[in-house]
Structure 1
Amino acid sequence: MSRTARLLEIARAKGIVIATAESCTGGMVSAAITDIAGSSAIFDRGFVTYTNDAKIAMLSVSAQTLDAFGAVSEQVADEMCRGALIHSNATLAVSITGIAGPGGSDYKPEGRVCFGITNGTTTRTETIEFGALGRENVRLAARDHALDLLLKAADSPLP
């Protein structure tokens, strides 16, 4: 059984409803979930917020947070997933913001992706350094990691 099919099964059994807030993946997590028949039972909506303005307008990410930490930061990932939960009917939200490439900088290299996950009570963030795998591979790895975060959070409470 695929991870998305397992996610659908567990979320349906527990009454979990999911929202996504995506930047560098451009909706790939939402697409992976909605590729599974019956996903409307567990998926409310996906926010693709590629620009800082979109993050502010759609997810209520603070301009001050963006200025202080940059879009690719755990602080912004935190505000993105919280905003997705607030602006949806979801009970579980995941966020992704990163540098898929090509390019990057010494400070924020290609392949750095920040994730957030929240159930409204507990929020967790993390940064994964996927490395310079190329744009497509970084995006696929980020999508899969976000799905794994959702699956783990649906299967057991967030730590």
Structure 2
Amino acid sequence: MADPNPAVRLLIERGETVAVAESLTGGLLAATLVEVPGVSAVFRGGLVVYATDLKASLAGVDERLLATRGAVDPDVAVALAEGARRACRADWGVSTTGVAGPDPQDGKPVGLVYVAVVGPQQRRVDELRLGGDRSAVRASAVSHALDSLVTLLRSPTANTSAS
């Protein structure tokens, strides 16, 4: 699993905060972040919205989007990240949604994962095709989410955000 320290260090340096909205990772992303000493300066909190109806009621994902595309979708991932950012009043929102297995879900294959990061002026969503068992898919999704956050925090456009 990716080291959460670079993300936390960059957030501390920038004086910015992060929140998460997790579906398939079920709190693993938040748990990974809170392993870092000093993370309380930057981690606002998170939403574990495993059930589809909670994606709408807690994270604010449009119910029509969920009804037409299902929970495993790139636009849903972005909406989850935006919802975490808004609900927790954070500068950055990070989300995970996908199929960890062992069986496909709503016609989506095991290992199909979407990770989104939304910041003050930018957003990124990645489609992943991950292998391995349920635990490996979830761990890989967390690693990718942390790496994506670091990438955006280091990008030139991220440096123009308000603190």
Give the TM-score, by structure 1 length: 0.92
Indicate conservation of the 8 Å contact 1:82/1:120, yes or no. no
Deviations 1:112-158 (A, max 9, x none): 00111111332221210113x11011011011111111111222236
Q: CA deviation at 1:109?
A: 0.5
Supply the distance in 2 between the matched residues of 1:105 and 1:11 (Cα, whole angstroms).
35
* Letter aligned with residue 121 of structure 1: Q
Unpaired segments ≥5 residues, structure 2: 159-163
Unpaired segments ≥5 residues, structure 1: none
Supply the distance in 2 between the matched residues of 1:150 and 1:9 (Cα, whole angstroms).
12
Supply the distance in 2 between the matched residues of 1:23 and 1:105 (Cα, whole angstroms).
13
> RMSD of the alignment, in Å?
1.5
Alignment pair present for 1:81 and 2:81: yes
Question: Which deviates more, 117-126 or 73-82?
Answer: 117-126
Supply the distance in 1 between the matched residues of 2:9 and 2:124 (Cα, whole angstroms).
23
Alignment pair present for 1:10 and 2:13: no
Q: CA deviation at 1:9?
A: 1.3
Which residue does the alignment assign to 1:108? Answer: 108
Identity across matched positions, percent:
33
Q: CA deviation at 1:106?
A: 9.0
The aligned length equals 156
Which residue does the alignment assign to 2:161? Answer: none
